[in-house]
Amino acid sequence: MTSLRACFFMAGLASLALPLSTALAAPPAGRLLAAQCAQCHGTGGQSASGIDSLAGESASELYSEMLEMKYSQDTGDIMHRQARGYTEEQIRLIANYYATLSGGGGGGGNDDGSKGGDD
């Protein structure tokens, strides 16, 4: 009897949770796409080289920059070739993904502050 009630409860919960869980299943798309960028822009968008970090940039900024580079006539530019390989929809996913990451303390490019632990 309790299991039947639990069953109804679960069913109700499942139907409630369905739109949410499909939304939660979405992130890997942006993250997988963004994995390509990591070779140059760093893991998780935190660059260890001279190339800009992408983490924490605003989604709209990244999106418009990517489109600009995608449609740029400057075919010798490295990012033109990168950006051209993605659809606008994929670029939107990538931009949204990077925007969700922390830029390491505000995303303002200021990386001083506490350096780890004190033990």
Residue with tokens 């935190």: 46
Beta carbon of residue 35, minimum distance to ligand HEC (angstroms, whole number): 9
Q: How many Cβ atoms are within 10 Å of 105's Cβ, its own excluded?
A: 13
Q: Does 51 bind ligand HEC (CB under 6 A)?
A: yes
Nearest CA to 96 out of 61, 64, 68, 59 is that of: 59
Beta carbon of residue 61, minimum distance to ligand HEC (angstroms, whole number): 7
Q: How many residues bind ligand HEC (CB under 6 A)?
A: 15
Beta carbon of residue 52, minimum distance to ligand HEC (angstroms, whole number): 3
Beta carbon of residue 6, minimum distance to ligand HEC (angstroms, whole number): 45
Q: Using CB under 6 A, which of the segments 6-14, 23-31, 75-83, 108-116 binds ligand HEC? A: 75-83
Sole binder of ligand HEC in the list 54, 55, 99, 101 (CB under 6 A): 54
CA–CA separation, 78 vs 61, rounded Å?
19
CA–CA separation, 26 vs 49, rounded Å?
30
Residue with tokens 């939660």: 24
